[in-house]
Structure 1
């Protein structure tokens, strides 16, 4: 019975997300940070991480534009990459303050531009101790059938770099306090 309920929930979620019924592939990055999960979540919850990453990675990110919203669910964010000829646009579809989870759906660019039918970015801030946590960045994606031979994949490196920037920024400000 539980498996049937899980399958039904997955099908409903898949239809809501516009995902064809097939399992998503995943790329995941995890990084331990010696800062309380609540402090990391403050940065990740709204637009802070996007703005901090853009400021620190000027050789990679040309600009971050908020096309709609204020950082909450429904916000549409566009990142333009150096030299300015490629971009990625996403919509925040879930922000769970209790579980410290943020989910965004790619709208254009990223792996969608090279043959993926769906790109879902999930960020989890997982408490380890009162003074440490794990930043888990996950990209779920599905490849259009006609592009499967090319094996297109999203690039997880910007999310891994954002986690590293968060670690440096928050751990150094913790030491300054």
Structure 2
């Protein structure tokens, strides 16, 4: 168990700081969405569990439960999806308010339930101009031996939907 945790931690840190050789060990899915608002406003709405609150209010997710923490590093959250009551549990391993980046390690659910050994979700708010930014979402994952033929993948459409809900929330707030 400690050996697996050490490997996951090493992979996560390497991916976050830009280790190209480590990134090649993982498969990647990405999504980008332009928002007509400064990155600071988008980040403010997103951070400290804001995206989960907004998503629950917009019925994108059924609910979420904070199992540990307050939205910072070490926070563990269980998200219950609509429909079917499937769930996903993740732990925040990086929350960088200066760079507007959050990285979470999947603990259970999503592709971990169907053959992935690692799932790492990254949200980043990038300033494009004074009134424009981009929400960049990435999911890095590894498939367990023996599951390659089934080609399990995380649900990138769900995180793209989270980005869209965040975009709508921030843009509507600016026009209100």
Partner of 2:4: none
TM-score (normalised: structure 1): 0.85
**Deviating more after overlay: 45-54 vs 109-118:** 45-54
Structure 1 residue 15 displacement after superposition: 8.1
Partner of 2:73: 73
- Provide runs of 4+ in structure 1 moved above 4 Å: none
Aligned partners of 2:75, 2:139: CA distance in 1, in Å? 18
TM-score (normalised: structure 2): 0.85
Which string of whole-angstrom CA distances, capped at 9 and with x for unpartnered residues, describes residues 92-120 of structure 1? 00011111110000000010000000000
Provide the alpha-carbon RMSD of the alignment.
2.1
Structure 1 residue 154 displacement after superposition: 0.4
Unaligned runs of 5+ in 2: 1-6, 15-21
Contact 2:112 2:118 survives alignment (8 Å): yes
Partner of 2:98: 98
Q: Which has the larger radius of gyration?
A: 1
Structure 1 residue 61 displacement after superposition: 2.1
Q: 1:13 aligns with which of 10, 13, 16?
A: 10
Which string of whole-angstrom CA distances, capped at 9 and with x for unpartnered residues, describes residues 54-106 of structure 1? 221x2x52211001110000000001123454210000000111111100000
Q: 1:99 to 1:78 in 2, by over 3 A?
A: same
Partner of 1:155: 155
Q: 1:62 to 1:121 in 2, by over 3 A?
A: same
Aligned partners of 2:9, 2:49: CA distance in 1, in Å? 29
Count residues with an aligned counterpart. Answer: 162
Contact 1:119 1:141 survives alignment (8 Å): yes
Partner of 1:7: none
Contact 2:61 2:82 survives alignment (8 Å): yes
Structure 1 residue 121 displacement after superposition: 0.1
Aligned partners of 2:95, 2:138: CA distance in 1, in Å? 15
